[in-house]
Structure 1
């Protein structure tokens, strides 16, 4: 229960971080040397936890103001991009970031030790934030976001892998306590990052906000360099090193892929306005490949194959949910920038602060869901019904925004957006952690890590889908848009309720009380 309560306290992207860590611990628990089981943490833990805090500070600090930077006028310090181009860039950025984490995991397994990849990733991320802070125009955006996506892919999977090594041989209770601290560091960075950059952006300008993110990442980098030598020897080992011919082949395929991408860009097949569609297609192909490999594997029993096949519609449902949820970074900035009156007397509500409202609401409601309510009807619901509750809640949040259509000009109250974001933030507790709980219980032993990776990939797919929804916002009347999105989420909830029993049968026995145990 402690694992689940801790996980539920995290918004979707942060719970992805936790999933990598939890999966790694499960894999490595029997292999690491015991380093104690008391209340103190293993050597190197606080170094990594604080690096994670500053990295999340930088990442979420950037996410909070990125869309505004792309769409605001040049006079207001932005780039004045078309809204469809801006949301396409934001959606593609989120999708690429999660694809890059798959690359980071492969590199750590075959090419370079985890501790070195964390260092390399931190350097690349820092360079990305500095590029955004110092380079003007679209060149800074392209350079900065590319570096941050690649660097995060190198750092995220491997910093959690190292923490898994640190806790090898520890008791479950000690690991639970340690990961609670780790999750706390993630939440602190994710909350204070948008608060800092949102205030700086509204008071001093976008590049000061990007500079704050760069400072946070620089602190993480310096701290890691100073103390990385104290990490266990296992973190300097490549577990399954690739042979020279295999490495050359991988480099060749990578070069070919880069050349094809360059040609598609030159031919304008891949453009800024369809970038999220392209990234979404790549994610769909990657997911299809993952499912195909697992389902065709001779190492799966008939029951395991049935469960993996049953998970496919759950994966699609979670992708759709995150498409609705992650409009926080696409559609919501479009609404705020054109329709919301941010002036509250002598004080102006910072745009970037809207990105943190759902997180705060989620953290506040968790004690009820994980504690007082866990034995009530909500806690006893099977996982598919909890998914339906999440869809229904976020549908209500968007239906609430229908009232915007009857408010002229830029006169919408920021408190209406706050209420909608609170409802949307709370809805996530019924989807993200439940998805992780289902995956860890039905995953075949041989493909446990791959299925967790697939679950995390729903975030990348959802990010690209959120960009498509935001594009609809620019093309439909507001009344129709909110009715379509809100109604679509509510209808999805109804479909899940109807399909709950066959889905549970496909996933296998033992899931009827997944979240209440």
Structure 2
């Protein structure tokens, strides 16, 4: 009986312009699945922690929490989330200039694991600070570089239509981790305490590390290559700059300039400054072509709109967490519904709808809406979700809001993410300049940094004004920005397609 040859995909060596190379289809799929499972476990640990972090800061001491004021707690959570994504700019730069993406992911996974272990075993504010700093630094090293590796894997496939679908399934793995993480850590926190929940997050990160080490040898050669090596003569200058930055941060903390109350403001400003620097650097670089420059300019309105979108979405960890502790009755008979499970409904909705949306994109093919329209749909949907929350908040007056209605709001808001998150990932790896590919992915993750820190600021605003005014502003902004994107979809779309058509 004859052996059936493997189906292959074709890729061209972009460095040498050589002849197409044959890539076995099973190898392509294994690499993609391996990266997806690594990301699933990393996100399990990240969201497993984030699902209970707000409540750890808000809950009273006798309930195992730190009893911080709501404005302080939301500021810390927002700043932490923003710093996690902001640090990915540094990780992207290191993955381009000093250390290969493959090794950056490995080192990041080790540091994240250490951070979760500190949170699990070191109580109080000291353990919280050390653990969160480790997770911020480790995630910065891992996230953009693993996304770049997925892009390298997908580059091996000759059919460009698989790209959005491939990233949609990768994003589904992210959301599976985002669902299972808080479900398990939330149950552990509810039954035996916060630090047991932190311990489960550490276990998940350990699984991610094992999964990644097992798959390293099967990754594309580009994952082991430093794309744009930093000249040896400039490395001492970079080391001095890093030391100066650490000294500045330490001085700001010592002199009280950097406090829990203003952390979200500082991180928001840092995210905007970093984004401005990246846009200016890429658009003025001599190595960037005219078409690449036009695509970067076309990405700017989507960057800003996505940052606002994630600010609204990540309020589940700030303003909505405060709302849950103040106005939601979690008791079902003699059992208390785990508080982290409420926010878990959001990524669960995204997981359930992703296969349907991915199949729809593949079926529509060239007839599917462009990225501008997809992001607009996401913004309008999340704006409508906050309009729904406004209605039920006002209808119940000062009474508790029924748990079922809040869960429905979470479904509406969470399912909108499939129109924004995976589209941004796919777009960043497709339109980025060749010499700034990893850093373009890092710029895309800045939308999450901006969104997380903005969610912290919005959470502080939520504690200062009435619910009706707050939800009205949020709903109007979401729907309004979405409509503006729809109105400008043609000129922005033309910029994004510059040099990619034909």
Task: Bin the TM-score by the shorter chain.
Answer: 0.7 to 0.9
Q: What displacement does 1:197 show?
A: 0.7
Counterpart in the other structure of 1:475: 464
Which residue of structure 1 aligns with residue 477 of structure 2?
Answer: 488
Contact 2:168 2:422 in 1 (8 A): no
Given that 1:33 and 1:169 are in contact with CA atoms closer than 8 Å, whether structure 2 keeps it comes out as no
Displacement of 1:298: 4.0
The answer on whether the counterparts of 2:89 and 2:443 sit within 8 Å (CA) in structure 1 is no
Distance 1:477 1:116, change over 3 A: same
2:242 is the alignment partner of 1:254? yes
Q: Identify which range, 96-105 or 194-203, moves more after superposition.
A: 96-105
Deviation at 1:470, TM superposition (A): 0.9
* Counterpart among 193, 197, 209 of residue 185 in structure 2: 197
CA distance, structure 1, for counterparts of residue 154 and residue 363 of structure 2 = 31
Give the Cα–Cα distance (whole angstroms) in 2 for the partners of residues 126 and 41 of structure 1: 28
Secondary structure of the 2:99 match is coil
1:92 aligns with 2:82: no
State the match for 1:138 in structure 2. 125
**Do the aligned partners of residues 173 and 369 (structure 1) sit closer, same or farther apart at CA in structure 2, a change above 3 Å counting?**
closer
**Cα shift at 1:476:** 0.4
Matched residue, 2:345 = 357
- Of 152, 158, 179, which residue of structure 1 is paired with 2:145? 158
CA distance in 2, matches of 1:317, 1:105: 22
User: Which residues of 2 match residues 171-186 of structure 1 at below 5 A?
Assistant: 172=159, 185-186=173-174
Q: Is the 8 A contact 1:129 1:213 kept in 2?
A: yes
Which has the higher mean CA deviation after the structures are superposed, 207-216 or 303-312?
303-312
1:145 Cα shift? 0.8
Check conservation: 2:148, 2:438, Cα contact below 8 A: no
Go from structure 1 to structure 2 and tell me whether the alpha carbon gap of 1:455 and 1:297 turns closer, same or farther (over 3 Å shift): same
* Cα distance, 1:289 vs structure 2: 0.8
Q: Secondary structure at the match of 1:475?
A: coil
Q: Is the deviation greater in 53-62 or in 382-391?
A: 382-391
Matched, 1:56 2:43: yes
1:417 to 406, 421, 439: 406
- Mapped to 1, the partners of 2:169 and 2:376 lie a distance apart of 31
CA distance in 1, matches of 2:419, 2:113: 34
* Contact 1:29–1:170 under 8 Å retained in 2: no
Q: Could you say which residue in structure 1 is the equivalent of 2:5?
A: none
Deviations 1:159-217 (A, max 9, x none): 44455666775655998798777555434322211110111111111111001111222
Once the two structures are TM-superposed, the CA of residue 442 in structure 1 deviates from its matched residue by 5.0
Deviation at 1:477, TM superposition (A): 0.9
Partner of 2:306: 318
RMSD: 3.7
State the number of aligned residues.
488
CA distance in 2, matches of 1:174, 1:219: 32
Partners of 1:260 and 1:37 in 2: CA distance? 51
Q: CA deviation at 1:99?
A: 2.1
1:26/1:84 CA distance change after superposition, 3 Å: farther
How far has the Cα of 1:121 moved from its partner?
1.6
Could you tell me how far 1:506 is from its partner in structure 2?
Answer: 5.2
Displacement of 1:331: 1.3
Question: Scaled by the length of structure 1, what TM-score is found?
Answer: 0.82
- Per-residue deviation, residues 278-330 of structure 1 (Å, max 9, x unmatched): 11111111111111122323455555544433432222111111111111211
Q: Is the 8 A contact 1:319 1:458 kept in 2?
A: yes
Aligned equivalents of 1:370, 1:137: Cα separation in 2: 44
Q: Which runs of 5+ in 2 are unaligned?
A: 1-10
* Structure 2 CA distance for partners of 1:141 and 1:26, relative to 1, 3 Å: farther
Instruction: Provide the C-alpha distance between the structure 1 equivalents of 2:20 and 2:434, rounded to a whole number of angstroms.
Output: 23
1: CA distance between counterparts of 2:198 and 2:260?
22
Check conservation: 2:431, 2:496, Cα contact below 8 A.
Answer: yes
* Contact 1:35 1:170 survives alignment (8 Å): no
1:445-456 → structure 2 map (5 Å cutoff): 445-456=434-445
Aligned partner of 2:61 in structure 1 is 74
In the alignment, the residues of structure 1 paired with residue 152 and residue 308 of structure 2 have an alpha-carbon distance, to the nearest angstrom, of: 34
